[in-house]
Structure 1
């Protein structure tokens, strides 16, 4: 069943076209990765689907009553409520059922046995709501809230902190946690791994593998895409092309396409050059002029092929061309605190000439 249908979507900013006829469909329960060069319009497309940004033309159609959740790259503006309250609001439909169940229990307990008709009506409604509450995981509301919060790197004490005191990265993680608890029919995540440490990243991977609803992810983490998605949407030069499989499958298919396009372009260029040379060197007699005119018309009918863009390359030269001692950095018993809070204590290590070191650790461990 189709959950989302995009048809001929166009969007420009001033005289700069960003989306030029984007069309694709997304099935219920399908997980796709949306990738493309920086500035190709990935965030613009997500915002158009979420209804935050009107398109110039085209159509975005969602299944009737389908809910959409969108995590932007930039940290959201949040008020003074606590993290716990923020996450509980994401569970609002189930919280309302919980309140209704409690109300019905009070009415049932106070209903006189003589009022059998009213009692049966209350018991019938109580049974239906209880089944609905159980099927939607209502009896695990608190444990689920804590599981998601802790999985994304928050501590138990963070649940009672005010969001206004959170850093930008913490606010983004809080919004991600709320969306996971909200469980919309279509979840769209724009660079969700930016503010996650390795442990949080691995937790989110496992969570999204089991995610039963539709999912669109924008991320530069190809390993994350390999683990989570089953289709790639490649956005480039204003349009989208769909590739089956994960990122590795896409990369293989894309390389084959690039090679095929390059060969076709080279063949066409050789043909054009050959025909142009024959036209230039045509003799002055009538027969040669007719042949040159015929060749010129053939050239005009040729649709020029585009040369595939070369893959961007980046090279770092770590070779050192000066003088240096063998010991580049040395820490001896270094301690750092913020107020009364110790960040690290008595750290000792050294980095020697030629070492290549990775500095890793949980969020807030003090890497920066």
Structure 2
């Protein structure tokens, strides 16, 4: 399995107190990893480093997660009655917004010339590929392509299946 996250000789200290020293590890795509240790032993620090939330004092963390990484802080301030599903839905909000925008652009492109105007979609109306353009044209197609690439890289097509497996 290819490696998705690698820590190489990572060291981290806070106020001169070393928390991690010389840590090296690799996490494979699709693998599951547990981090076990006593309170104050650096578990949360390691996870923040691996997620790219902090930088090591020494060493290197290499992320090859094309779609990015997700991180839910252990001390996240969540609504007291929030369900795990609601927390996951909130974490996927950006991905859902990308998908909604893609669907809007698909509809505008399917409506043909002037389709965005007829559908009352002011956010895509007026985008043309020049005089007499298609009411969406190259700008809409280009935006759609960019969003599609981002959606795929972030695992948009299997996000719901991964969420179901995690629950």
Return the offset for 1:136.
5.0
SS of alignment partner, residue 37 of structure 1: coil
What is residue 25 of structure 1 aligned with on the other side? 26
Identify which of 197, 205, 208 aligns with 2:166: 208
1:165 counterpart residue number? none
Query: Is residue 55 from structure 1 mapped to residue 60 from structure 2 by the alignment?
Result: no
Query: What's the counterpart of residue 101 of structure 1?
Result: 106
Task: Classify the secondary structure of the residue corresponding to 1:94.
Answer: helix
Q: In structure 2, list runs of 5 or more residues that go unmatched.
A: 80-85, 116-133
The corresponding residue for 1:227 is none
In structure 1, the residue matched to 2:35 is 34
> How much is the aligned-residue C-alpha RMSD, in angstroms?
3.7
**Aligned-pair CA distance for 1:208:** 1.9
For each residue in 1:49-85, what CA deviation from the matched residue of structure 2 results, as whole angstroms up to 9, or x when unmatched?
Answer: 222222110100011634100011112489xxxx7x9
Residues 136 and 55 from structure 1, CA distance in 2 versus in 1: closer, same or farther, beyond 3 angstroms? closer
How far apart are the structure 1 equivalents of 2:102 and 2:23? 40
**TM-score of the aligned structures, taking structure 1 as reference length:** 0.29
Q: What secondary structure is seen at the aligned counterpart in 2 of 1:53?
A: coil
Q: Deviations over 1:204-247 (max 9, x none)?
A: 7x6228xxxxxxxxxxxxxxxxxxxxxxxxxxxxxxxxxxxxxx
Count the aligned residue pairs. 125
- The aligned counterpart of 2:10 is 9
| DSSP-derived class of the 2:71 partner | strand
- Cα deviation 1:153-194 (Å, max 9, x = unaligned): xxxxxxxxxxxxxxxxxxxxxxxxxxx66x7xxxxxxxxxxx
Larger radius of gyration: 1
Q: Residues 137 and 63 (structure 1 numbering): CA distance in 2 closer, same or farther, change over 3 Å?
A: closer
Distance in 2, Cα, partners of 1:59 & 1:88: 30
Deviations 1:114-146 (A, max 9, x none): xxxx8xx99xx7xx97xx79x9549xxxxxxxx
CA contact (8 A) 2:5 2:65 kept: no
1:30–1:108 CA distance, 2 compared to 1 (3 A): farther
Matched residue, 1:91: 96
Q: TM-score, with normalisation over the residues of structure 2?
A: 0.59
1:1-368 superposed matches below 5 A:
1-63=2-64, 65-76=66-77, 86=90, 88-107=93-112, 136-137=156-157, 207-208=165-166
Aligned-partner Cα distance in 2 for 1:46–1:136: 23
* Unmatched tracts of structure 1, length 5 or more: 111-117, 139-179, 184-203, 210-368
Q: CA deviation at 1:14?
A: 2.3
1:88: how far off?
4.1
Q: Residues 286-324 of structure 1, C-alpha deviation per residue, up to 9 Å, x if partnerless?
A: xxxxxxxxxxxxxxxxxxxxxxxxxxxxxxxxxxxxxxx
Contact persistence 2:5–2:27 (CA under 8 A): yes
Distance in 2 (CA, whole Å) between partners of 1:108 and 1:89 is 30
Partner of 2:165, secondary structure, is helix
* Distance in 2 of aligned mates of 1:27 and 1:14: 32
